[in-house]
Amino acid sequence: MPRQVGELAVPVKPVAASTPLADVQAILREDPLLPGVVVRAVDGQLRLLSRVHVEHAAVPGLDRVPTMGDLPPAETLKLRASTAVDVAAEAALARPSATRDDAILITWPHNRYGIAPMLDLIAAMARRYVRLTRTDALTGLANRHALTTRGEEWLREHTDGALLVIDLDRFAEINEALGYQGADQILRQVSAALTEAAGDDDIVARLDGDQFAVLLTDRPEAGTEAGPDGWTERIAHQLAQRARGPFTVTGIPVSVEMSIGVAHTAQAGNDVDTLLRRATMAMQVAKRARTGVEAWDPHAAAARGTDLRLMAELRAATTRGQLRLHYQPLIAAADGRPHGVEALVRWQHPDRGLLPPGVFLPDAERSDIIIDLTDWVLAEAIGQAATWRSAGTPMPVSVNISAAYLAQERAVATIAALLAVQQVPADLLTVEITESTMMTHPERAATRLGALRKLGARVSVDDFGTGYTSLALLPELPIDELKIDRSFVSRMVDSAPHAAIVRTVTDLAKSLGVTVVAEGIEDEPTADALRALGVDLLQGYHFARPQSPELLQLPGLSRQRC
């Protein structure tokens, strides 16, 4: 596909203006593909004369042999060979209508010239336009339109395939860490890896942003390594493995995780749009559950409708007194005494009973419901802290804040107002944010968290160790506490690599002068190992499960309820 107008040009050597017209006409007759001739005037100027112009030229009334210099002048559009095809076409079409069909004079370095016929330029633009409508500009893969067109053609003759929708996990963090150019490099490298890993007849497409699709058209035969039973899921896992990297960008190795949804073409309603919708739903399930690959299940899809109703009910639950806060203690590693509690929301659903946060929080965090929900949690937790304080047993309370809530201009002011109304010292409140919250907008997060610390509140980074570049950001962020993710803590006794990660994070936190909290502790050997490493606070079922304020049992803690 020509990109520069020089690729369309026929190289020619200029003829002198003194060259006899008949000689040039003879040259054109001998070479029917030559689109015209370039004439160099006495003053050195070049002009382009088309084949038709020269072939039908006549110069009557001369008493000598007519030369090329005797032909009437013609307007000549001259462009460098490196000019983009679309720019050349725009310039050519901007000429007056009388000369719009004329060829274009092309120049290369070192006094080399050529002629680009207008018809070839228009044809190149048409091909380019068709390609652009079917190709993703960044990666060169098929785009959504091409996937739909080619997919429908394939489905008319086949029924045994599958469509995969692939979404890169936490790609916003890569954008923040590497910038858009670095992120684009990752997308191009992932595209190349997917293309290489896919079958020769499979269709690989980029749908949008960090989302891709692969139409699997070659079902393995029985007895092959991939199937046929469960073949699509096996291939999906293989694609994820081969396209995860690491990819090197500006000297930094970056591995990419992805969530993949599978929709089988053998199921009813197998047009491409339906397959895309089903595979996207399955991908969202895989992303929420962190399972990597999920296949579309019609029963699960019906349950998804139930989830939408659940979100509507949750919106009302914040004003109907159906939400509850349970509190889980944070135990000081040095003496085993309670150092504070973490507030964890529950939903007392009128029909389904007490629902844990995993049932409703993931969906709430993807909607504006999380704002009202966080307002309620903050007010309730600070109110409970006021009750404990008025009873003479002040207890620090930790509250989780989402990226969406922290992004609000009113976030800090709301927290300050709640503390003032309840007359709770700010140092009794710890705001917990996740690494992904920090990475979404690091500068804004640092500003808001800094304002909270000026109030006197503490800032904790939750689930630490699961992000991309938090180590580089930590010295710049206003934080007081690191919570090591439970995925590392729970396996540290039996896994040397996990123990090494916990030790490294602990040493890092100590060097920064921040408190270290380990969550997800379920046995005494893990607790002992954490104490030996110098972890400050311990949290998990081994010490206490989350309880309502009335049932929470801590030494000297009042069970009054605000």
Number of domains in the chain: 3
What CATH number is associated with residue 218?
3.30.70.270
Residue 552: inside a domain: no
Share of the chain above pLDDT 90, in %: 38
Q: What is the pLDDT of residue 170?
A: 85
The average pLDDT across 439-446 equals 73
Q: How far is CA 434 from CA 220, 477, 553, in A?
A: 42, 13, 28
Q: How confident is the model at residue 559 (pLDDT cuts 50, 70, 90)?
A: very low
Domain co-membership, 502 together with 527: yes
161: alpha, beta or left? (left if phi > 0; alpha if psi -120 to 50): beta
Domain of 167, in residue numbers:
135-295
Residue 553 has pLDDT above 70, yes or no: yes
Q: What is the pLDDT of residue 468?
A: 46
Domain co-membership, 145 together with 284: yes
Q: What is the pLDDT of residue 474?
A: 67
Q: Domain boundary residue among 234, 263, 295?
A: 295
pLDDT tens track for 302-341 = 445 546 778 888 988 988 999 999 999 999 999 999 999 9
pLDDT tens track for 235-273 = 999 899 889 888 888 888 888 889 999 998 876 556 888
What CATH number is associated with residue 361?
3.20.20.450
Domain co-membership, 67 together with 152: no
Domain co-membership, 355 together with 486: yes
Residue 554: inside a domain: no
Residue 544: inside a domain: no
Q: Domain boundary residue among 78, 105, 128?
A: 128
CA angle 464, 362, 186 (to 5 degrees): 60
Q: What is the pLDDT of residue 56?
A: 83
Domain co-membership, 360 together with 494: yes
Q: What is the pLDDT of residue 225?
A: 42
Sequential DSSP letters for 480-509: SEEEE-HHHHTTTTT-HHHHHHHHHHHHHH
Residue 67: inside a domain: yes
Residue 465: inside a domain: yes
pLDDT tens track for 54-74 = 888 877 777 788 898 888 877
Domain co-membership, 291 together with 326: no
Q: What is the pLDDT of residue 224?
A: 43
Residue 547: inside a domain: no
Residue 157: inside a domain: yes
What CATH number is associated with residue 94?
3.10.580.10
Instruction: DSSP letter for 478, please.
Output: -
Q: What is the pLDDT of residue 471?
A: 56
The average pLDDT across 134-159 equals 88
Q: What is the pLDDT of residue 507?
A: 87
Domain co-membership, 455 together with 523: yes
Sequential DSSP letters for 18-87: TSBHHHHHHHHHH-TT--EEEEE-TTS-EEEEEHHHHHT---TT-SS--BGGGSPP----EEETTSBHHH
Residue 515 has pLDDT above 80, yes or no: yes
Give the mean pLDDT of the chain: 85
Domain co-membership, 223 together with 113: no
Q: What is the pLDDT of residue 430?
A: 96
Q: What is the pLDDT of residue 85?
A: 85
Domain co-membership, 188 together with 332: no
Q: How confident is the model at residue 347 (pLDDT cuts 50, 70, 90)?
A: very high
pLDDT tens track for 447-471 = 899 999 999 999 998 877 555 444 5
Domain co-membership, 152 together with 117: no
Residue 559: inside a domain: no
The average pLDDT across 474-484 equals 83
Q: Domain boundary residue among 100, 128, 156?
A: 128
464 strand-pairing partners: 484
Q: Which amino acid is at 318?
A: T
pLDDT tens track for 384-414 = 999 999 999 999 999 999 888 888 889 999 9
Domain co-membership, 124 together with 155: no
Q: What is the pLDDT of residue 221?
A: 56
Q: What is the pLDDT of residue 269?
A: 58
Backbone angles phi, psi at 483, to 5 degrees: -110, 115
Cα separation of 329 and 398, whole Å? 10
Residue 560 has pLDDT above 80, yes or no: no
Domain co-membership, 253 together with 343: no
10 strand-pairing partners: 115
Scanning the structure block, which residue is given the tokens 């602990």? 506
Which tops the pLDDT comparison, 218 or 361? 361
